[in-house]
Amino acid sequence: MTTFSILGDDDPFLHVAMQKGDKIYCESDAMVMMEAALELKGRMTGGLGSALLRKFTNGENFFQQHIEAVRGNGDCLLAPTLPGAIEILDIGSGSGQAQYVLADGAFVAATSGVEMKVKMQSIGNALFASSGGFVVMTSSGQGQLVVSGFGSIFTLDISEGKETLIDNGHVVAWDANLRYSLGMNTSNTGFLGGVVNAATSGEGIILRFSGHGKVLVCSRNRANFLRWAASKTN
């Protein structure tokens, strides 16, 4: 049985202990080190259609890394693309388990029993939010899923009847049972008022969550970091 554990506090590694026959998959370039008993291959997870959607709508990698313990037990180290925390989520339908929707770039790795599918979003969410572009990744099956966030990660418990507003650039993943919608700002000033308020207050786009479930948020805004990094390369 594959065991995930987190090594380190700042910019941690994901340590993966695998037994012979175990399989995991992870984002392209996530593998840092692996023992010789393991074998690494690049594959299209979810088939050609899903791979093309991830590549051309979200800019994610066409292939993902699949690691299998083919020659015995072995360990490997994985790391996310962006600096920040790692969180291990239990996926399934039992107590304390759930299915999740992931924001852009949040996926790190999953055990073989977890399937990640692409899901088309509404045009509004795709154009105006960073919650996943035209498609988001949704989990199914049972096992463990690992996500990363830029900076620290904190888990919010959303309760029924208590709507929660979150800056979309800080959202990492959320319970698939939650209801969510896009908003221009935290006030009820209408669309035009929202545009003006977003431009003057710096609030930007928010996601309104309601229902019962968990939302994982990160302390740093991923979109702002990527814009800053792009400016340094020009």
For the chain, the domain total comes to 1
Around Cβ 7, how many Cβ atoms within 10 Å?
11
CATH of the domain at 223: 3.60.160.10
Instruction: Determine contact, residues 214/156, Cβ cutoff 8 Å.
Output: yes
CA 55 to chain centroid: 15
Write down the pLDDT at residue 224: 72
Block residue for tokens 């093309």: 52
The residue range of the domain holding 179 is 3-233
pLDDT in tens, the chain (234 residues): 999 999 998 899 999 999 999 999 999 889 999 999 999 998 665 554 455 555 444 445 547 899 999 999 999 999 998 899 999 999 997 777 899 999 878 999 999 999 988 776 554 544 444 444 445 789 999 999 999 999 999 999 999 989 999 998 899 999 999 998 877 655 554 444 444 444 434 456 788 899 999 999 999 987 776 666 666 666
| Residue 178 CB partners (closer than 8 Å, separation 6+) | 158, 209, 210, 211, 212, 213, 215
Write down the pLDDT at residue 140: 93
Write down the pLDDT at residue 131: 44
- The pTM (predicted TM-score) of the whole model is 0.81
Closest to 215 measured CA to CA, from 176, 157, 169, 160: 157
Q: What are φ and ψ of residue 32, in 5° steps? A: -105, -45
Write down the pLDDT at residue 133: 45
